[in-house]
Amino acid sequence: MRTGTSAMPTYQEAYERSLRDPAEFWSEAAMGIDWYQPWKRVLDDSKRPFYRWFSGGVLNTCYNALDRHVEAGRGEQLALIYDSPVTRTIQRFTYVELRDRVARFAGALSRLGVRQGDRVLVYMPMVPEAVVAMLACARIGAVHSVVFGGFAADELVKRIDDAKPKVIVSASCGIETQRVIPYKPLLDQAIHSAAARPEHCVILQRPQAQADMVAGRDIEWHEALKDAEPQGCVPVLATDPLYILYTSGTTGVPKGVVRDHGGHAVALHWSMKAIYGVDTGDVFWAASDLGWVVGHSYIVYAPLLRGCTTVLYEGKPVGTTKRNPVSLEMSRLAWSRLDSAFERAVRDRRDDEARADMLMGAHLAGAAVEQSMLGAAHACANPLTARLGIVHGIAVGVMLPHVVRFNSANGENPYVALSDDPERLARRLERLLEAGGAAAATCRLRRAAGHDF
């Protein structure tokens, strides 16, 4: 079922309508996704409290993220920019190139016995092969579970035993600023200690470290691709699982959170324009990591579902001393949060005109907010419709084209607005970031004259 989207309403209109008629609201949002078979119920509440979205619908998330854009004539548009200052590498993939790589790796997984509903654990650094592995699983209806690269062996064991993956996809190493972290010894130790052991491991050998391979179990990435037949998209139910993502386990055994195909695709596709103001052809960078939900949602799925160009960045906002041209542009445009303490990225160029031209907005999540900022208010010609909610002093969302708007829990000091002066924006944003830490940051970019991504 080929569908299209209608004009986007204002935030307030959308919010009120979503409460007044949620079924109709999300039914219209679902028209932005291509379906093999339409849903029977938008929200199936027949087994409360276990609600299911778009029950009866049939789709494929990978098709919506890649194939449909190629079929629509946008195959030569950039889909993914891999920017790795830690390896001095930049790679660009068009939609047709990424689709073809995903289809071939889906064929490799199929040859290893992976079928619809099987689990595949992905334990990789921020490299294009990680994105390919995720989308390949979605393509054939397998369920991926991405574990943050470099997690300790004992934490990996818990996730292996719970997910029981048929195949594990990993790499020989990751790179943390200037330090090479061998992954394979951690993986081997985890598999040895696990009760549920995979049948195969696909290992990406990186030049920074060569992994020792286990005969009969391990296969090198490029070997796995040899003679692999490209696989088409397998239709799956909207309520079938897309991935499992585990909580940190700081309060006990990690809990696996399951996202299904239908509701996930609809919500993420809708959010790109409705929340971030991003549409087909725009460039989007989420400064997070695969293995965290922000990375899953806004590095891989949401931008590609919307037909955007997404940036996969291997590095940190601080401590990464050798920066590529792409990451230099990024660091001029946004201050990015990756870990528990926010550190600002490099601000070494004062090309304010170029920065203002390219930066459409920055969005932070989970930032501790300086209370003194809540009392400040400055006139602004372009106030945001979206607001920053404060929960126990933590910002749950922020949008910064030229203004930050706050909404305090008690209704007092309702907002902080910034002027459209880029220098004032930079100073005020710096204060916000130094006050605490955001769980993630994203920025949306547009092409400008003289800037080639």
Measured CA to CA in angstroms, residue 289 lies from 124, 280, 315, 342 at distances of 10, 23, 10, 15
Tell me the per-residue pLDDT of 282-328, one tens digit each, with 9 for 90 and over: 888 887 889 888 889 999 999 999 999 998 989 875 555 554 444 43
| Residue 107 or 340, more confident | 107
pLDDT band per the 50, 70, 90 thresholds, residue 274: confident
Q: Residue 201's Cα: distance from chain center in Å? A: 24
pLDDT at residue 319 in the model:
58
> Token pair for residue 330?
């990024």
Please check whether residue 265 is in contact with residue 64, taking contact to mean a CB–CB distance below 8 angstroms. Answer: yes
pLDDT at residue 243 in the model:
97
> Token pair for residue 205?
């050998």
**CA–CA distance, 294 with 297 (Å, rounded to integer):** 5
Please check whether residue 308 is in contact with residue 273, taking contact to mean a CB–CB distance below 8 angstroms. Answer: no
Pairing of strands 89-94, 119-123: unpaired
Measured CA to CA in angstroms, residue 188 lies from 7, 202, 397, 415 at distances of 52, 12, 39, 52
Mean pLDDT over residues 5-18, rounded?
72
Please check whether residue 359 is in contact with residue 334, taking contact to mean a CB–CB distance below 8 angstroms. Answer: yes
| Residue 150 or 2, more confident | 150
Give which of 240, 382, 287, 272 is closest to 83, Cα–Cα: 287
Q: Is the pLDDT of residue 442 over 70?
A: no
Name the least confident of 113-127, 150-164, 205-219, 242-256: 242-256
Give which of 120, 96, 97 is closest to 108, Cα–Cα: 120
pLDDT band per the 50, 70, 90 thresholds, residue 95: very high
Please check whether residue 288 is in contact with residue 79, taking contact to mean a CB–CB distance below 8 angstroms. Answer: no
| Residue 7 or 20, more confident | 20
The fraction of the chain above a pLDDT of 70, given in percent, is: 68
**CA–CA distance, 132 with 181 (Å, rounded to integer):** 22
List residues bridging with 207 in a β-sheet.
none
pLDDT band per the 50, 70, 90 thresholds, residue 365: low
Name the least confident of 71-75, 256-260, 327-331, 404-408: 404-408
pLDDT at residue 7 in the model:
54
> DSSP labels for 221-251?
HHHHHTTPPP--PPPEETTSEEEEEE---TT
**CA–CA distance, 79 with 65 (Å, rounded to integer):** 10
**CA–CA distance, 189 with 129 (Å, rounded to integer):** 23
pLDDT band per the 50, 70, 90 thresholds, residue 374: very low
* Domains detected in the chain: 11-57 (no CATH), 61-269 (3.40.50.12780), 348-445 (no CATH)
User: Please, what is the average pLDDT of the chain?
Assistant: 76
**CA–CA distance, 430 with 286 (Å, rounded to integer):** 18
**CA–CA distance, 75 with 249 (Å, rounded to integer):** 41
End-to-end CA separation in angstroms for the chain: 34
Measured CA to CA in angstroms, residue 57 lies from 116, 130, 148, 160, 393 at distances of 17, 28, 31, 30, 41
Residue 219 amino acid letter = I
pLDDT at residue 399 in the model:
37
pLDDT at residue 186 in the model:
96
Please check whether residue 122 is in contact with residue 144, taking contact to mean a CB–CB distance below 8 angstroms. Answer: yes
List residues bridging with 409 in a β-sheet.
none
pLDDT at residue 343 in the model:
28
**CA–CA distance, 25 with 193 (Å, rounded to integer):** 48
Q: Is the pLDDT of residue 249 over 60?
A: yes
Q: Is the pLDDT of residue 200 over 90?
A: yes
pLDDT at residue 264 in the model:
96
> Token pair for residue 245?
């993502």
> Token pair for residue 74?
């946008």
pLDDT band per the 50, 70, 90 thresholds, residue 235: very high
| Residue 31 or 281, more confident | 31
Mean pLDDT over residues 63-76, rounded?
98
pLDDT at residue 418 in the model:
34
pLDDT at residue 253 in the model:
83
pLDDT at residue 1 in the model:
45
Coil vs helix vs strand at 312: strand
Highest mean pLDDT among 252-256, 350-354, 388-392: 252-256
Q: Is the pLDDT of residue 64 over 80?
A: yes
Tell me the per-residue pLDDT of 98-144, one tens digit each, with 9 for 90 and over: 999 999 999 999 999 999 999 999 999 999 999 999 999 999 999 99
Q: Is the pLDDT of residue 190 over 70?
A: yes
CA angle, 28 as apex, 22 and 29 as ends, to 5°?
85
Tell me the per-residue pLDDT of 407-423, one tens digit each, with 9 for 90 and over: 333 333 333 333 334 44
Tell me the per-residue pLDDT of 33-45, one tens digit each, with 9 for 90 and over: 999 999 999 999 9
Please check whether residue 165 is in contact with residue 121, taking contact to mean a CB–CB distance below 8 angstroms. Answer: yes
pLDDT at residue 347 in the model:
31
Q: Give the helix/strand (H/E) hosting 273.
A: helix 261-274
**Residues 6+ positions from 276 with CB-CB distance below 8 Å:** 284, 361, 363, 399, 442, 444
> Token pair for residue 244?
């499992």
Tell me the per-residue pLDDT of 154-180, one tens digit each, with 9 for 90 and over: 999 999 999 999 999 999 999 987 789
pLDDT band per the 50, 70, 90 thresholds, residue 261: very high
Coarse DSSP helix, strand, coil percentages of the chain, rounded to the nearest 5 percent: 35, 25, 45
pLDDT at residue 363 in the model:
55
